[in-house]
Amino acid sequence: MRSNNLITDFATAVGLVGAFAVVVLALALGDGSVELFINPAAFLIVFGGSTFIVLMQFNAGQFFGAIHVAFKAFFVKAETPAELIDLAVELQKKARVENILALERMEIANPFFRKGIQYLADGMELDLVKGTMLKEMFRADERHETGRLIFKSLSEVSPAMGMIGTLIGLVQMLAGLDDAAKVGPAMAVALLTTLYGAVLGYMVAKPIADKLALRNKEERLCKMLIVDAVIALAEGYHPRLLEEMLLPYLPGGSREKAAHYGHSHEKAK
């Protein structure tokens, strides 16, 4: 059976690394003093303050669970809808030669698909199979949506914390105008908190939130495909009819290629 290993989403990784590389390069091309942009006080205000504010909006389990969910922005399951359709057709061919119970002995990497086959092998009613699988899908949707909302909230809070840090720095600067040695550090905090807030919000949190939304959409599509495939397996659809029924889950161009390949493959047989 096909691998269900995680593979790196290079678009996310390259985008994140590339964005930071451009910023660091721009800083280095100035006067070469990148260390001027490192300020512990500004870092504490933005990163510490943003973290605690977001923690106020969610419970601890949801907050720390978002770290696990964030990996979906960088890693993606190797299976695609096209591969799942091929797997469903393969399983149906075996079920027609033997029976549904024979599928239970096969190694199915996708846990959601494997669970659906297990339900059928256990003799669960089709309505109950479909209802249970849909509930599991919706619960996963809720967990992933919570993770996305946490990063979305972080993208909104961090620039605001940057502005709060700027106001703190300006107050300190104005209060210390009689001492020139205090003006510089206070101004650094004022400016760098705005920079840190923008970096955290617009270069990290918002892109991750958007990518998680895309990941959730892709995963939901695959799970809906699996639900339809499991029900069709139980109802004994012909493999060719099963494939035709699942092809709408593919994009237009891929759908036409898959249909053409399927017809050619059947004729070759």
Task: Decide if pLDDT at 102 tops 60.
Answer: yes
**More confident position, 263 or 19:** 19
Q: How confident is the model at residue 107, as a pLDDT?
A: 83
Task: Decide if pLDDT at 269 tops 50.
Answer: no
The pTM of the full predicted model, rounded to 2 decimals, is 0.80
Number of H helices, E strands in the chain: 12, 2
Task: Decide if pLDDT at 108 tops 90.
Answer: no
How many CB atoms are closer than 10 A to CB 167?
11
Chain segment 34-63, per-residue pLDDT in tens: 788 888 889 999 999 999 999 999 998 999
The enclosing H or E element of 8 equals strand 6-8
- Picking from 22-31, 131-140, 212-221, 234-243, which range would have the lowest pLDDT averaged per residue? 22-31
At residue 78 the predicted structure's pLDDT band, cuts being 50, 70 and 90, is low
- The 3-state DSSP class for residue 4 equals coil
Q: How confident is the model at residue 5, as a pLDDT?
A: 55
Counting Cα atoms < 13 Å in the Cβ hemisphere of 39 gives 24
d(CA 127, CA 24): 57
Q: What is the mean pLDDT of residues 111-136?
A: 93
233 closest CA partner among 245, 220, 222: 245
Q: What is the mean pLDDT of residues 96-105?
A: 84
Token pair in block for residue 210: 């958007």
Bridge partners of 7, per DSSP, are: 76
Token pair in block for residue 33: 């003093």
User: What type of residue sits at position 54?
Assistant: V
166 closest CA partner among 133, 190, 150: 190
Contact at 8 Å (CB) between 250 and 81? yes
57 closest CA partner among 193, 196, 151: 151
Token pair in block for residue 222: 């695959």
- Calculate what percentage of the chain has a pLDDT beyond 90: 47
How many CB atoms are closer than 10 A to CB 104?
14
Mean pLDDT of the chain: 85
- Picking from 10-24, 37-51, 172-186, 201-215, which range would have the lowest pLDDT averaged per residue? 172-186
Q: What is the mean pLDDT of residues 223-243?
A: 92
Q: How confident is the model at residue 46, as a pLDDT?
A: 95
Q: What is the mean pLDDT of residues 197-216?
A: 93
Tokens 């889950």 found at: 249
Token pair in block for residue 150: 């946490």
d(CA 48, CA 51): 5
DSSP state letters, 213-252: HHHHHHHHHHHHHHHHHHHHHHHT--HHHHHHHHGGGS-H
Task: Decide if pLDDT at 257 tops 80.
Answer: no
